[in-house]
A and B are shown apart, each in its own frame.
Chain A
Amino acid sequence: MRHLISVLIENESGALSRVAGLFSARGYNIESLTVAPTEDPSLSRMTIITTGSDDVIEQITKHLNKLIETVKVVDLSEAPHLERELMLLKVRATGKDREEMKRMADIFRARIVDVTDTTYVIELTGNQGKLDAFIQAIDPALILETVRSGVCGIGRGERVLRV
C-alpha cells in the first residue's frame, strides 16, 4: 500500500540523513521525499511517499517518531488530504509541434514559463497521476528534460500538523 507520511522535524544539519539512513538501514522504500523549512525556520516539514504492508508502515512511523529530532509524524493517507507535485518539463517546440505543445499545456492547465525559438519550459502542478498523464500525452521524442519536485501533502479541513 502507498502511504504519504508527513514529518515535522528540527531544521538541523543531519536531520535529513537520519531519515534517509533509517529507510536504507531497515530496508524500507522511499518513492519520493521532499523537505523544506516551514513558517517557523527552526522546523522542517518532510513529505515521504513510501509503500509497505500495514506492519511495515507501523514500524516506519514508529522509527520516524523515535528519531530525537522528530517533533511529529502523521500518516496523511489515513484521512482526506491533498497531494501536489511540481514538474518542470523542457520540450522541443519547433514547427507544428510548437502549437501542439501549447494546446496540450492549456488542456492540462500547465504554464509555459520559458520560451526560445526551439524550446519551451512547461510548469505543471498536480497530483502524481496528473503529471504522469501529461508525460503520457505528449510525444516522448520531444521531451528534453524532466524535473519533478516530489510530492507535498497536507490534510484537508481542520486536520492540522503543527507543534
Chain B
Amino acid sequence: MLLTGAEIVVQCLQRENVKYVFGYPGGAVLHIYDAFFQQDEIRHVLVRHEQAAVHAADGYARASGEVGVALVTSGPGATNAVTGIATAYCDSIPVVILSGQVPTAMIGQDAFQEVDTVGITRPCVKHNFLVKDVVELADTLKKAFHIARTGRPGPVLVDIPKDVSAAKCEFRYPETVSMRSYNPVVKGHQGQIRKAIKALREAERPILYAGGGVILADAADELTALARRLGAPVTTTLMALGAYPASDRQFLGMPGMHGTYEANLALHHADVVLSIGARFDDRVIGSPEHFASEPRTIIHIDIDPSSIGKRVKADLPIVGDVRHVLADFLRILDEEGVTAPSEALAPWWERIEQWRARRCLAYEQPAEGPIKPQYVIETLWKVTKGDAIVTSDVGQHQMWAAQYYRFDHPRRWLNSGGLGTMGVGLPYAMGARFARPDAPVVCVTGEASIQMCIQELSTCKQFRLPLKIVNLNNGYLGMVRQWQQLFHGGRYSESYMDSLPDFAALARAYGHVGIRVDRPADLQPALERAFSEHANELVFLDVRIDPRENVYPMIQGGKGLTEMILSADSL
C-alpha cells in the first residue's frame, strides 16, 4: 500500500509502541500533523514552547525507561528544541526528535524558517539524519529508535523535509536493524570481571560508586544485591539517586561538590573504587590531580569506552552494559561461594561511622521562621512517604532536593545533571506524569528556574496534570548568590530578582490551585492539602524560604574531596 511520508511517520511510531508525542505544529510539519489527526493510537501533547516538548519527552524517557518522542517544525521550532536536545545528550537519555525541514528543493536557499538543523544539532545528538527521499524514511526511523535506546543511550534527530512527508511510497517497516558501523558492546570481558572481583575481595576499604548508567541500564537490583553481598559502602551520584535505597545503612549519600562528608571522605580514602556507570565528573571528584593523590585501584565499568580514562586513569576498565556486567559479578561471586559480606571491613565501617557522626546535613528549623528549604524537602518526603517522582530544576533547590529527599527507588528523581538546564523541572514533571499516571509527581523548583518554562502551566491545564509544584522562593538566583557570597566578596551582581510575580495568583490565572506559604507551621498542612483535597488538581505551592540559606557541604570548584566546607560556621 502506498503511504505518504507523514503516514509512514505515524505508522513507524506505532510500530515502536510510542504512546505520546510531545510537540508543536508549524508549516514544515503540517503533513505530519494531518496524519496524526487521522489516527487515535498515539496521543499528541501540545506544549507551549518547543524546548518543553523535548524536555517533556526526555522526562517521559527518564521516568519510564522508554524512548521519548518530540516533534517540532523547521527553523525556530528546531532551534528552540536545541536546549532540550543538549540536556538529554548530556545525561544520555533516549529521545527521538522529529523536526520538519523546508522542501528538499529549497534547502540551502535561505528559505522561510530554514536552518541547518542537522548541522546545528550535530554536536549535541548521539546521531542525526536528514531524510532526502521518502523511500529511506521507514529505515531511518527504525535506526533512530535503535540508536537512541541501545549502547549509551542518547537523543537522535530525524530531519524530514516537507516534500518528503508529502511524497508517497510503499511502506514496509524493517523488523530488525543491522548496522556494520554500530554494534555496542553489551557483555563485559570475563577476565577483567574476575580480576575486579579479586581486587574487591582483597580490598580493605572498598566503595561502590554508582552513576546514572545504573539507572539507564535498569541495574538497581543488581547493584543492591552486589553491595549487600560485598558489605561495601555505596555512594550514588546525583544522576543515580534511587539506584540504591537511601534508607539503607550501606548508603553514604551523594558524593561531590554538595555531597555528604562521609561519601566524599570514603571515596577519597577507599583502596578499591568500583565505578559503575559513572564518569568521575568535575562536580563529583573536583580536581583529578587531588583525587589521584591517594593510591588506589579504580575499576571502571562503562558502556562507553570514551568515558573510561577520560578524567582519571582506570586500573581495570570493563566495557559493557552495567546490568550484564553486574549480573556476571553476582554469578562469579556465587561460583566462588561468596554469600555474605566480609568481616574484614569492620575497621573501614568504623571510620565511615565516625565521618557519618558529623551529621553534615543537620540543620535547625526555627519555629517562628524563616522556613528552611531543607525542612520543606524533609516535610515533602514525609507527606509523600518518600514515594513520589520528584523533578527539579537547577540550583540550590536541586541540591536540597537531592540531599534531603531520600530516594529508595530508581527513576523517581529526574533532573538535569550534566547540562544543568534551568527550566526542565515542569516539563520533566509533565513527561513523568504521562509515563506514570498513577504516581504522585512533584516539581521542586525555584522562582528563577520555574520562570524559564512557566508557560507549560497552560499545557498542564489542557491535559489535567495534577502535578505539585513546590517553589522554594528566596528571591535570589540562590546558587549564584551563594558563589558570590563565598568567592566574589559578597558582590551580588544580578543575582537578586526584583518584580517577581505573585506565583499563587499566576497559577490561579492558568486555572490551577495556588497557595502561598510563609510560616513553618503552615507548610505541612499545605502539602497535605495538595495531595488530598486537591489531589486531582495542579497545586502551585509558593514557599517563602530563608533567602540567606546556603547549600552545605560544599567543595569549591577545582578543589579536592577532602576540602569540604561543612557549614557557614566553618568559613
B308 to chain A, nearest CB (A): 8
From A21, A58, A66, A163, give the contact of B304 (CB < 8 A). Answer: A66
- Give residues 1-25 of A contacting B (CB, 8 Å): 9-10, 13-14, 17-18, 21, 25
The complex places the Cα of A65 from the Cα of B306 at a distance, in Å, of 9
User: What distance in Å separates the Cβ of A74 from its nearest Cβ neighbour in chain B?
Assistant: 15
Binds A, one of B119-127, B420-428, B449-457: B119-127
> Which residues of the other chain, A, contact B305 by a CB distance below 8 angstroms?
62, 65-66
B126 near A68 with CB under 8 A, answer: yes
- Nearest residue (CB) in A for B118 is A14
Question: In the complex, what residue of chain A is closest to B182 when comparing beta carbons?
Answer: A68
Q: B119 contacts which of A10, A17, A66 (Cβ < 8 Å)?
A: A17
A50 in contact (CB, < 8 A): no
Confirm or deny: B180 has a beta carbon within 8 angstroms of a beta carbon on chain A: yes
Q: Are B127 and A68 in contact (CB under 8 A)?
A: yes
B43: Cβ under 8 A from any A Cβ: no
| Tally of contacts, chain A with chain B, CB under 8 A | 36
Write the chain A residue with the least CB distance to B126.
A68
Q: In the complex, which residue of chain B has the Cβ closest to the Cβ of A55? A: B309
With A59-B310, A62-B306 as contacts: A71 and B180 at CB distance below 8 Å: yes
Complex interface: chain B residues within 8 A of A10 (CB): 181
Closest to A70 in B: B181
User: Is A63 among interface residues, defined by CB-CB distance under 8 A?
Assistant: yes
Measured between beta carbons, the chain A residues less than 8 angstroms from B180 are 71, 163
Inter-chain CA distance A145–B148, complex, in Å, is 48
Tell whether A21 pairs with B127 under 8 Å between CB atoms, given A65-B305, A68-B182. Answer: no
CB pair A58 B309 closer than 8 Å: yes
Determine if A69 is an interface residue (Cβ-Cβ < 8 Å): yes
A48 to B504, CA, bound (A): 59
Q: Are B181 and A69 in contact (CB under 8 A)?
A: yes
A62 to B306, CA, bound (A): 5
Q: Which of B118, B130, B306, B309 contacts A66 (CB 8 A)?
A: B306
B181 near A68: Cβ-Cβ < 8 Å: yes
Query: A70: shortest Cβ distance to chain B, in Å?
Result: 6
How long is the Cα–Cα vector from A69 to B125 in the complex, in angstroms?
Answer: 13
A118 CB to nearest chain B CB (Å) = 41
Number of interface residues, chain B, beta carbon within 8 A = 17
By beta carbon, the residue of chain A nearest B152 is A66
Residue of B nearest to A63 (CB): B306
Once bound together, how far apart are the Cα atoms of A69 and B465, in whole Å? 41
Tell me which of B118, B122, B181, B304 has the highest count of chain A C-beta atoms within 10 A of its own C-beta. B181
A63 and B152 CA atoms in complex are apart in Å by 13
Q: Give the shortest distance, in Å, between A45 (CB) and chain B (any CB).
A: 13
> How many whole Å from A150's CB to the nearest CB in chain B?
23
A68 to B, closest residue via Cβ: B127
Bound-state Cα–Cα, A9 to B181, Å = 8
Complex Cα–Cα for A17 and B121 (A): 12
* Complex: A25 Cα to B89 Cα, angstroms: 15
Q: Determine if A14 and B122 form an interchain contact, defined as CB atoms under 8 angstroms apart.
A: yes
A62 to B309 alpha-carbon distance, docked (Å): 10
A-facing residues in B115-164 (Cβ within 8 Å):
118-119, 122-123, 126-127, 130, 147
What residues of B have a CB within 8 angstroms of the CB of A69 in the complex? 181
Q: Name the CB-closest residue of B to A13.
A: B130
Chain A residues positioned under 8 Å from B179 (CB to CB): 68
Residue of B nearest to A64 (CB): B306
In whole Å, how far is B370's beta carbon from the nearest beta carbon of chain A? 45
CB pair B123–A25 under 8 Å, yes or no, is yes
Q: How far is the CB of A57 from chain B (nearest CB, A)?
A: 11
Among B119, B181, B309, point to the contact of A59 (Cβ < 8 A): B309
For B118, B126, B130, B305, the residue with the greatest tally of chain A CB atoms inside 10 Å of its CB is: B305
What chain A residues lie within 8 Å of B181 (beta carbons)? 9-10, 68-71
Question: Which residue of the partner chain, among A13, A21, A68, contacts B147 with CB atoms under 8 Å?
Answer: A68
C-alpha gap A65/B123 in the complex (Å): 15
**Most A-side CB within 10 Å, residue of B127, B182, B305, B306:** B306
Q: Tell me the B148-196 residues at the A interface (CB within 8 Å).
A: 179-182
A-B contact pairs, 10 of them (CB 8 A): A13-B130, A17-B119, A21-B123, A58-B309, A59-B306, A63-B306, A66-B306, A68-B126, A68-B181, A71-B181
For the A-B complex with A14-B122, A17-B122 known, give 10 more contacts whose Cβ atoms are closer than 8 Å: A9-B181, A14-B118, A18-B122, A25-B123, A59-B309, A68-B179, A68-B182, A69-B181, A70-B181, A71-B181
